[in-house]
Amino acid sequence: MSTEHFDAVEIIGIKRDRGTLSPEQIDWTIDAYTRGVIAEEQMAALNMAILLNGMDRAEISRWTTAMINSGERMDFSSLRTPAGAVKPTADKHSTGGVGDKITLPLAPLVAAFGVAVPQLSGRGLGHTGGTLDKLESIPGWNASLSTAALMDQLSECGAVICAAGTGLAPADKKLYALRDVTGTVEAIPLIASSIMSKKIAEGTGTLVLDVKVGSGAFMKNEQDARELARTMVGLGTDAGVKTVALLTNMATPLGLTAGNAIEVAESVDVLAGGGPADVVELTVKLAQEMLAGAGVHDADPAAALADGRAMDVWHKMISAQGGDPAAALPVARESETVYAQAEGVLTELDALSVGVAAWRLGAGRARRQDEVQAGAGVRLHAKPGDVVRRGQPLMTLLTDTPEKFGRALEALESAAVISAEGSRNGQRLILERIAE
């Protein structure tokens, strides 16, 4: 006789009929799925019922806690300030976009103010790049750290960007793989609980969410992005993590690069006090939010970029993981230029098209096991709001494998819109701030 407290068909029926699951039913569902008692096809049906009918705040919160409880939690309370107090921790999560290299300058920048930044990151899949893939273009840099090495690095240089261990929210790993092949990735309760279970298990005190909106993002419109942001802020708050979200524009790529080594180089420009205005603006804004959450209110992050304090932390952080911050970065063997077809103002440069082109050039992977090319990607020579002349270079495509140019160029066919009458204001970057 079964000793299970519930059965999967009953749980599926409740969500199919727009009912509410009890805390006990949710705990059992996540636990039974992790143990293999709920079959894949049953969980797929439940995910689809959740996608169609939603979950309320209490259900999403309990679902997230159950996923956290499926694995280990990290604890940074042993980190101390020079005065012996518990060191504040702050982390940022981006829902992913094209040219989104912000973690690279942001982690050392925030650490320069005495806040510890444990930035556990992932690899890219599809058209959005992965932070670890970018950093791995630095000769010698190692993404995998033991927990002891991570703690040592946090106490010595204040910032670490490394691969998230497999022990955090293992239920999410299994569930995400199933959602990926059953058309249920897009359910907002499931996205929010997936992201937040990993971030809460990571043990940060403050979390700033960068929820991207637009063609290059997961969320294509502001309404869905706002709902996702509100749900995640609610989950963080319920779990005792100081959480705020910014909705930011991903209609066009961030900065002037989408790839791996070229994004590292652009990040180093920002750390040297230069770099594209949009990358600087978002880095500084996110740093202010992280520092305020961690209790540092009088900080001037722009000054720490200009005077080299953030760069000093970057050098330490890269060297601590075996990387050589002074080494030349890999360069793609082949390049091809795309020229402006008309005269006027560049009003659109579509993020998704550029992301897909960079991916097809070899900067991203189609399957988890694929290798990425360090030098591949797209370099932009103009951004929305810029005046362009006919025949001026708009983008340079970079790859080691020139047979990839054709498919990348196809992706870019209607990426750029040039208008005689266009506005020169460009596009607004930070759209909204969401907090409770």
**What is residue 114's three-state secondary structure?**
coil
User: What number of other Cβ atoms are within 10 A of residue 81's Cβ?
Assistant: 12
Task: Supply φ then ψ for residue 66, to 5 degrees.
Answer: -65, -35
* Position closest to ligand URA via CB: 194
Binding mask 148-187 for ligand URA (x = CB under 6 A): ----------------------------x--------x--
Query: H-helix or E-strand containing 113?
Result: none
For ligand URA, the closer of residues 108 and 214 by Cβ is 214
The residues carrying an active-site annotation are 93, 172, 179, 194, 198
Q: How far apart are CA 385 and CA 159, in angstroms?
A: 35
User: Taking contact as CB under 6 A, which single stretch among the options 188-196, 233-241, 351-359, 426-434 is the one that binds ligand URA?
Assistant: 188-196
Is residue 191 part of the contact set for ligand URA (CB under 6 A)?
Answer: yes
Is residue 8 part of the contact set for ligand URA (CB under 6 A)?
Answer: no
Q: Residues with Cβ < 8 Å from 20, sequence gap 6 or more?
A: 14, 55, 56, 58, 59
Query: H-helix or E-strand containing 144?
Result: none
For ligand URA, the closer of residues 58 and 185 by Cβ is 185
For ligand URA, the closer of residues 64 and 252 by Cβ is 64
91 contacts 298 by C-beta, under 8 angstroms: no
Q: How far apart are CA 33 and CA 15, in angstroms?
A: 16
For ligand URA, the closer of residues 68 and 291 by Cβ is 68
For ligand URA, the closer of residues 88 and 189 by Cβ is 189
**Min dist. Cβ of residue 197 to ligand URA (A):** 9
**Min dist. Cβ of residue 195 to ligand URA (A):** 5
Is residue 219 part of the contact set for ligand URA (CB under 6 A)?
Answer: no
* # residues contacting ligand URA (CB under 6 A): 6
Look up residue 54 and give its two tokens: 């939603």
Is residue 194 part of the contact set for ligand URA (CB under 6 A)?
Answer: yes
**b/e map 220-253, b = 16+ CB within 10 Å:** eebebbbbbbbbbbbbbbbbebbbbbbbbbbbbb
**Min dist. Cβ of residue 263 to ligand URA (A):** 20
Amino acid symbol at 177: A
**Min dist. Cβ of residue 231 to ligand URA (A):** 12
For ligand URA, the closer of residues 195 and 200 by Cβ is 195
From 46, 60, 66, 195, residue interacting with ligand URA (rule: CB under 6 A): 195
**Min dist. Cβ of residue 365 to ligand URA (A):** 16
Q: How far apart are CA 248 and CA 398, in angstroms?
A: 27
- Give helix 57-68 / helix 23-35 axis angle, nearest 10°: 40
**Min dist. Cβ of residue 185 to ligand URA (A):** 6
Interface with ligand URA by CB under 6 A: which residues?
A: 176, 185, 190-191, 194-195
